[in-house]
A and B are shown apart, each in its own frame.
Chain A
Amino acid sequence: MFGYVAADIKGLSKEERAIYKAHYCGLCHALKERYGSIGTSSLSYDMVFLEMLLSDLNDRDETEGSERCAVHPVKEHRYIVTDSTYYAADMQMLLGYYSLLDNIHDEGKGEREEEKYRAIITELTRRYPRQAEALKENLRLISIKEEERSKDAEALALLTGNFLGEIFVDDDGSFFRDDLRTLGCGLGRFVYLLDAWCDRKKDRKKGTFNPLAEDIGRSDMKDMLIDAAATASSAFERLPLDQHVSIMRNILYSGIWIRFEVKDKE
């Protein structure tokens, strides 16, 4: 989707880096297994976070393997998959499809790719009606607000939060569905706002839509981002997680800020 929900690698130990990478490769493996190259091309760090989160929460058996791939053709690398990896892969495809539609709408590119996606999306919509409907409906509301040239960045961020929240809930009957939804919602709000912040100069130059006020300062922006991040992490801390906690905390308390800090120095 955006790729902002990634670890701050410098803050991970050697073992943690290896585990993080094995989960990244695991999601890539699942995407390739189910969807081929169209799957692997949509891989993002955001869904690696979801994959690690649900794998930990659902506590299912891990399958480990080792393989070569198109990106690393020479050296074999380790990958880890669980049931949740396949769920994250499916969600990645849903998100990938709608961001492709967005590209077609904005830039008129990608129509041939869309054809390849279509059968997959029909199947995914049937299997995950709740998530697919949330995605479709909230993106529809976002595009209405974009056409109105809305300057209510928080309202737009919440729409992103609403669909990502629904995607984070893999099982609507789960005792933890509300914390999962809150966590996804906070992260969705965060990435929408950060994306708008990162693009604001480019958008101003090109005259393309941006929901942030022209004169928004860094500290106001940071306040908005902190509220979203705190929403996500307070829900995260309520979940019974015990496997990848330190890696996920690195992401939530440090990794998600990297792009904000970088853009800041520019």
Chain B
Amino acid sequence: MTDPYSVLGLSPGASDEEVKKAYKRLAKKYHPDIAGNSEEAAHRMQEINAAYDQIINHRSDWQYQQQRSSSYSSAYGSDEPIEMQAAVNYINARRFMEALNTLYSIPEGKRSGRWYFLSAYAKAHTGDTVGAGRDIDEAIRREPGNMSYHAFRDNLTGRRTAYSGYTQNYSANTPGGICSSLCLSLLFFRFCFCFI
């Protein structure tokens, strides 16, 4: 696995702000308008995107995710609808709308705790955090012992607390005052979950 910071030409531990600047510099360099439609530029862009995603969203390597999700069906048995695997694949490919459509094609009687977790996850990534909250509550009701469900719920709540704290500080400060990304990255909990 390549170190994502080195892909962006940074040393490990660079701030989010530096990561964003480096990303934009490289994205401009490899943009088709400038680099042309070369295969190599497209490949570099994929690497740069994956590195950014890994650092900012704390996501593990894509291939790693793929590998894990392919062992999914054996771990969960064959009684789960095949659409569940499709939904996981959509989520791993960041296609959350398609993931939701696929999940909702599963009839209500066949929806497990895990279904509610996946639904909550996809909803949170399309902006429906209220629906996500309802679904994660239902997932926990069905599988109270699943710690990743609890972690997800804490994450949803933490996001609100972080925002409130930041807003209160904001109005108390002078222009350009506390907008440091360091402070924000400490405040904002990020969604990072594996699907196994």
Contacts and interface: CB of A to CB of B under 8 A. Distances in A.
Interface in A204-232: 223, 226-232
B130 A227 contact: yes
A156 to B, nearest CB: 11
A257 B167 contact: yes
Contact of A230 (B28, B160, B171): B160
Contacts of A257: 167
A138 B16 CA distance: 36
Contacts of A183: 127
A110 interface: no
B126 A178 contact: yes
A254 B176 contact: no
Nearest to B125: A178
A186 interface: yes
A249 interface: yes
A153 B185 CA distance: 31
A216 to B, nearest CB: 16
B184 interface: yes
B151 interface: no
A240 B52 CA distance: 9
Range of interface residues on chain A?
35 or more
B68 interface: no
A26 interface: no
Nearest to B122: A178
A158 interface: yes
A11 B175 contact: yes
B30 interface: no
B188 A237 contact: yes
B176 A178 contact: no
A249 B176 CA distance: 10
Interface in B16-45: 17, 19-21, 23-24, 27-28
A235 B185 CA distance: 12
Contacts of A11: 170-171, 173, 175
Contact of A158 (B49, B131, B163, B190): B131
A186 B188 contact: no
A182 interface: yes
Contacts of B159: 230-231, 234
A193 to B, nearest CB: 11
Contacts of A116: none
Given A13-B175, A254-B167, A165 B127 contact: yes
A226 B156 CA distance: 12
B24 A181 contact: no
A231 B129 contact: yes
Interface in A51-75: 59
Given A161-B127, A178-B126, A240-B20, A230 B162 contact: yes
Contact of B128 (A161, A237, A241): A161
6 contacts: A181-B126, A230-B129, A237-B181, A241-B20, A246-B176, A254-B171
Interface of A: 8, 11-13, 16, 59, 154, 158, 161-162, 165, 175, 178, 181-186, 188-189, 223, 226-235, 237-238, 240-242, 245-246, 249-250, 253-254, 257
